[in-house]
């Protein structure tokens, strides 16, 4: 498809309205299912605002899920210091809770509208954003095209393209270019991401590093932490966090292999999707292991083998209970999960080899000795056994990970520098409006 025909296709797509639904309907339906909807505020997904638009300039910032929301919190706080209104959209109930906990009423939170012309148009008609900032890899064609048609500057921050996404876009290079030319600026996480965006037609592209590095460690409720530490006592522990299907069983098998060698061993398993907890508890119990579920308030007793962390928003709690963490979606699944949070909390990081989505972060941790990749269950068991048995080596690995995170900081300052040409005119406009209003 030539560039001209790609633009013709996207123009037709933009003006097709509801008729375009068959092109993306199944994907939208999938994204808005799986228990992610807030029924009371469902109208927001159709672009029907739940709040009045404030006076003065408005910046729309979008962060899809929990990880992206946490990553943009320092950025949002920095922009708020300029005195500009912010509408923050997210796509899940959990990310909305995170936004409320960390930003409160300093911002206006809305659920992101479906990427359908009627919903996007209603949203934009109401909020009339002066600038749109999109986090990471949320490429919504209709939204990008509508913002472009209204000449609203769009900046992609903390931008990344996974191997799979990049391969998919390359097959549709002309469509990608026709979309990405609507972006005023792309601030990429890494040199690889920057090169990928450039090859797909984005201009200009700068590299900032990962905004997630400039966040604070995940918090923990002090009372809950004290209670769990008392229950655990001096027992040795290790954790398997952000696990995907199959990795929980691997963690349970590692526990069975090591618990006689390390008396009183407690394994903490934190599935990425806690809604799988019922089935996981039954599966692990069927292996002859005793499970305590955090969501049910079950106590950790002397004969508890597995603490199942089946709650949301308590990663900081689980990581503070151990000095060793295997990070999932890397052994039986692909892509990996973010290793920065355990590294920030002085935890030795282990992972499988399928960590493509966080390649640069893992490479930095591997180079410094703050992380180790394992091939399979037996290699994971060997790594956990080694770290449990060697306090000096474990603490060296923990310190290396924390030092690496400190060295990687600075993405927030570079991102703000890239955003300055778009934000400063709004600051001036806001101050002028305030002065004229007095």
Q: Which residues contact 281 (CB under 8 A, 6 or more apart)?
A: 291, 293, 308, 310
- Rounded Cα–Cα distance for residues 226 and 264 (Å): 19
Beta-carbon contacts of residue 60 (< 8 Å; ≥ 6 apart): 86, 87, 89, 127, 129, 131, 132, 133
**Closest alpha carbon to 242 in 205, 272, 202:** 272
Matching residue, tokens 């037996």: 378
Which sign does the torsion angle of CA 69, 70, 74, 80 carry?
Answer: positive
Q: What is d(CA 126, CA 128) in angstroms, rounded to the nearest whole number?
A: 6
Q: What angle do CA 56, 59, 60 make, to 5 degrees?
A: 135
120 phi, psi to nearest 5 deg: -65, -40
Strands 266-271 and 291-293: unpaired
- Tokens 């210091």 correspond to 81
- Report which of 108, 85, 88 is spatially closest to residue 429, judged by C-alpha positions: 85
Residue 193 burial (CB count, 10 A): 25
68 as an active site residue: the answer is: yes
SS3 for 398? helix
- Kindly name the residue from 37, 52, 68, 195 that is annotated as catalytic: 68
Q: What is the DSSP letter of 65?
A: S
- Tell me the pairing of strands 266-271 and 237-243: parallel
Beta strand spans in 63-209 (E): 85-90, 108-111, 131-135, 154-159, 185-188, 205-207
Exposed, middle or buried, 404 (CB in 10 Å: 0-12/13-18/19+)? buried
Q: Computed from CA positions of residues 122, 118, 200, 62, in that sequence, does the dihedral angle turn out positive or negative?
A: positive
Is-contact 87 115, C-beta < 8 A? Answer: no
List residues bridging with 207 in a β-sheet: 188
Active site residues: 68
């Amino acid at each position: 498809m030539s560039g001209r025909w790609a633009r013709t296709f996207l123009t037709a797509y933009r003006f097709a309205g509801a008729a375009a639904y068959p092109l993306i309907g199944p994907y939208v339906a999938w994204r808005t299912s799986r228990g992610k909807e807030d029924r009371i505020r469902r109208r927001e997904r159709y672009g029907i605002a739940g709040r009045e638009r404030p006076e003065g300039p408005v910046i729309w910032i979008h962060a899809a899920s929990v990880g992206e929301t946490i990553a943009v919190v320092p950025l949002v706080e920095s922009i708020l210091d300029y005195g500009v209104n912010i509408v923050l959209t997210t796509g899940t109930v959990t990310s909305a809770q995170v936004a409320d906990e960390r930003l409160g009423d300093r911002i206006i939170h809305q659920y992101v509208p479906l990427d359908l012309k009627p919903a996007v148009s209603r949203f934009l008609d109401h909020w009339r954003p002066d600038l749109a900032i999109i986090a990471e890899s949320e490429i919504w064609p209709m939204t990008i095209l509508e913002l472009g048609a209204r000449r609203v500057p769009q900046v992609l921050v903390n931008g990344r393209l996974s191997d799979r996404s990049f391969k998919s876009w390359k097959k549709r290079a002309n469509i990608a270019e026709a979309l990405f030319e609507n972006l005023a600026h792309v601030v990429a996480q890494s040199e690889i991401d920057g090169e990928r965006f450039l090859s797909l037609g984005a201009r200009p592209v700068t590299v900032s590093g990962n905004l997630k590095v400039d966040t604070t460690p995940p918090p923990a409720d002090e009372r809950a932490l004290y209670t769990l530490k008392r229950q655990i006592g001096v027992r040795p522990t290790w954790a398997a966090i952000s696990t995907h299907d199959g990795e929980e069983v691997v963690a349970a098998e590692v526990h069975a292999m090591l618990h006689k060698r390390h008396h009183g061993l407690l394994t903490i398993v934190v599935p990425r999707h806690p809604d799988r907890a019922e089935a996981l508890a039954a599966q692990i119990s069927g292996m002859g292991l005793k499970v305590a579920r955090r969501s049910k308030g079950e106590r950790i007793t002397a004969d508890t083998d597995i603490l199942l962390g089946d709650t949301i928003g308590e990663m900081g709690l689980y990581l503070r209970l151990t000095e060793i963490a295997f990070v999932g979606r890397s052994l039986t699944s692909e892509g990996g999960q973010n290793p920065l949070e355990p590294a920030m909390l002085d935890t030795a990081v282990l992972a499988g080899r399928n960590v493509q989505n966080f390649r640069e972060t893992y490479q930095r941790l591997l180079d410094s000795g703050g992380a180790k990749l394992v091939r399979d269950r037996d290699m994971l068991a060997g790594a956990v056994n080694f770290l449990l048995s060697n306090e000096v080596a474990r603490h060296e690995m923990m310190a290396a990970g924390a030092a690496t995170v400190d060295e990687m900081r600075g993405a927030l300052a570079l991102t703000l520098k890239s955003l300055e040409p778009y934000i400063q005119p709004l600051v001036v406009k806001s101050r002028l409006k305030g002065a004229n209003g007095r």
